[in-house]
Chains A and B, each alone.
Chain A
Amino acid sequence: MSWEQELTALARDRGSALVAYAYLLTGEQAAAQDLVQDAMVATFSRRHPSHVEHLEAYVRRAILNAFLNTRRRRDRWDGIAWLVADDELAGGSGPDAVATARADVHAALARLTARERACVVLRHFEDLPVRDIADRLNVSEGAVKRYLSDARRRLAPMLGAWDDADVDLVEGAQR
């Protein structure tokens, strides 16, 4: 199969899933689509794309890498951050107002830094262990724990406290 056929098949069969994945990072549909397209171009422009066994996984990595690029991050979430209410500055709505509806999760993610958001998506959507997240993001395990801890602290006013199962993770970041 030529690279053109591989690209076409991947875009046709897995395009929606890739865009949805990018959406969790960007928070905006058009930006997610741009991110996926950039990642696919980058992936298939590489030297040996046909050697990549799991193209979708590779494109997901490329999406993550492109998202963490400084320029892209600035162009994406920053553009919509003003739409998100700053509950901390407004006194916070508190745990009693916890809601996990789609809009609340969307708004909560917008409060995070790019790396925090990436860690949250990898941990809570892809269900990756900390070590794999560290590998994926090219950071240390300690850094991942710190990002997750910081993210949860930011999310708590909007989404409430985390389960006990996650306490060890937070404590790990404090060691």
Chain B
Amino acid sequence: MSEQFEAGLRDLYTAAEMAHDARPGLAIDLMVARTRRHRRARTAAVTLATAAAVVGVAVAGTAVVNNLDTPPAPPADGPTATGSATHEPVTGTETELACGTWLGNVVGVPEDRAITLNMALGTTELTAGELTGWLGTSVEESTAMTRAVPGAGIPAGYGFAVLQDGVVVGTTRATLHEASPEAGDPFPRTHDARITPVACDGAALAPAAYDLVAFLPLDVETAPDEWTRALLVSDPVAFTVPDAGPLPDPQDHYTPDGASSIPPSDASAPLPDGNYLAHVSDIDAAAGTVSADVVVLYFGSAAEEWVSANAPGTEILDDYVSDDPDGQTDRVIPLATDMPVWEVCWGPNEEKVRRTGGVAEWATAPIEDGESLCSDTSTIPVGGLYWLDVRGGVVAQAVAQFVP
């Protein structure tokens, strides 16, 4: 019977081929257009990030004194606006407020100089590993002489520090770009800031409440031709690093609605706690790290909202859209030594979850892009796409994710 059935299948196949040949055929132009929209959606966020970096570069050559509403005359050896710009993003990790420093011990700019540094945050909770805010300096007409510190700081000399109980417990990676004052600003705005706070050891900040301060190192003229280094520090602004909660069950990542965790835009920044989806390219068991390109998957209404905001007209296939905010950039992410690796097989008639090993087994598993293997005969998962659940700054579990 099977031979007859197979002959019938082949006959059916041939008939379908002929039927297709008699029709207009595949809509090639439409397929190209749809594919182009999908590919464009993946690169849109990258383009935006690049544009922001270029704006940041544009102010890189601006002297600190140009931030002052009433700039004092710069000394001969002070920084001057050179106008020279590089094509590298302008970021920095200023540590003028060194880790462990108590803010009360910092030498501040004397009040009689009437210079203030102001900072505001857009949100008080760390979102996607970042804070957004803006800052500016205000100087009264009677200001005595101050000057910028040569070579200090990220654009315009600013730095940031993370505090707990007045003690510096972290620094930041930050990108600034020039800003225009907006109606309702409580103080003159000169720069917008995108700030990634990190712990003093470079790891992600643990979930807790913190304060952020901006600072600007200045030289203050205390006597004719006598200059003293001092730090102009903003008032602390409170923010929190949210708790990502307990590790989800392996099969509970793919939800009808929602999104995977969004990584910081700075690919070199540590990942805060969260559940990330990533294309894994390499696992280094000896170093205890995984190299992966973190992407963001939006499901259901979250996908519709993302498309509406970022790529209008993009078709949503299979109920999800993916975004690669940093444009196929691998991050090196530390692994917990006892991290389990799970595999979830999907299907209405076949759904199972199984642990396939730990870091050592994972490191020897072949990595392929686009497909996952989930048969009883395999001992380790295959497939480049994984959920990486980060807790305490390290990947606490990995779950292979098949995406159709």
Contact = CB atoms under 8 A, between A and B. Distances in A.
Contacts of A98: 1, 4
Given A19-B26, A41-B38, A100-B5, A131 B377 contact: yes
Interface string B34-67: 1110110010000000000000000000000000
A122 to B, nearest CB: 11
Interface string B13-29: 11111111101011110
B31 A47 contact: no
Interface string A102-115: 10111010000111
Q: Is the interface of A mostly helix, strand, loop or mixed?
A: helix
B27 A37 contact: yes
B16 A24 contact: yes
B370 interface: yes
A100 B347 contact: no
Interface string B361-403: 0000000011111111100000000000000000000000010
B281 to A, nearest CB: 11
Contact of B28 (A3, A12, A19): A12
A100 B2 contact: no
Given A8-B32, A19-B20, A115 B347 contact: yes
Contacts of A51: 369
Contacts of B370: 46, 52, 58
Contacts, number: 175
A104 B8 contact: yes
A86 interface: no
A17 B18 CA distance: 9
B12 A102 contact: yes
Contact of A42 (B27, B317, B349): B317
B350 A44 contact: no
Nearest to B6: A124
B350 A20 contact: no
A33 B31 CA distance: 12
Given A19-B16, A37-B26, A38-B317, A163 B2 contact: yes
Contacts of A93: none
Given A100-B8, A141-B375, A19 B1 contact: no
A71 B376 contact: no
Given A11-B26, A105-B5, A155-B5, A24 B317 contact: no
Contacts of B26: 11, 15, 19, 33, 36-37, 40
B210 to A, nearest CB: 36
Contacts of B372: 138
A105 B17 CA distance: 16
B13 A24 contact: yes
A160 B218 CA distance: 91
The 8 A-B pairs at the shortest CB distance, nearest first, are namely A105-B8, A45-B38, A23-B16, A140-B376, A20-B16, A100-B4, A20-B17, A138-B374
Contacts of A173: none
B9 interface: yes
Interface string A47-78: 11001100000100110011011110000000
Given A29-B19, A115-B350, A165 B35 contact: no
Contacts of B279: 47
Nearest to B29: A8
Given A20-B16, A20-B20, A163-B2, A141 B376 contact: yes
Given A37-B27, A68-B404, A141-B377, 10 more contacts: A11-B28, A16-B20, A41-B317, A68-B347, A100-B7, A105-B5, A134-B375, A138-B402, A139-B347, A162-B1
